[in-house]
Amino acid sequence: MLSPAEIASLAAQALEDKKAKDVKILKITEQTVLADYFVVCSGSSAPHIKALVDEVDKRLSEAGEPPKRREGMRSDVWVLMDFGCVVVHVFTEEARKFYDLERLWSDSEQVPPSSLPSP
């Protein structure tokens, strides 16, 4: 079983390996009980977003941490993957600007992916 930090790290690495844009990890443990981390990124097109989501799903499932839920696969604008302690948000660039999660959660700590433990 992976720690929340390891799940966030593995998700971020999968996204970066598939060329996600502007991957950010927000540590939200002090702000909410919803999760420990949000991993946020942008994809360049609907097929790119699907590839990003599929890669995160594959890597975390192989590590024994399949998503509990996936939302938004039909919208091609915002896909949310819920791993319990980590929520991965994959947006189009336009949707990311519109929803602006980084601003909404601006009181959270932005964590460099390299500072988290690798599984």
Q: pLDDT above 90 covers what percent of the chain? A: 87
Determine the CATH number of domain 4-106.
Answer: 3.30.460.10
pLDDT in tens, 52-82: 999 999 999 999 999 999 999 777 799 999 9
pTM, whole model, 2 decimals? 0.95
Domain boundaries, the chain: 4-106
Task: Provide the residue-wise pLDDT of the chain in tens; the chain has 119 residues.
Answer: 899 999 999 999 999 999 999 999 999 999 999 999 999 999 999 999 999 999 999 999 999 999 999 999 777 799 999 999 999 999 999 999 999 999 999 999 999 888 888 77
SS3 of the chain: the string is: CCCHHHHHHHHHHHHHHCCCEEEEEEECCCCCCCCCEEEEEEECCHHHHHHHHHHHHHHHHHCCCCCCEEECCCCCCEEEEECCCEEEEEEEHHHHHHHCHHHHCCCCEEECHHHCCCC
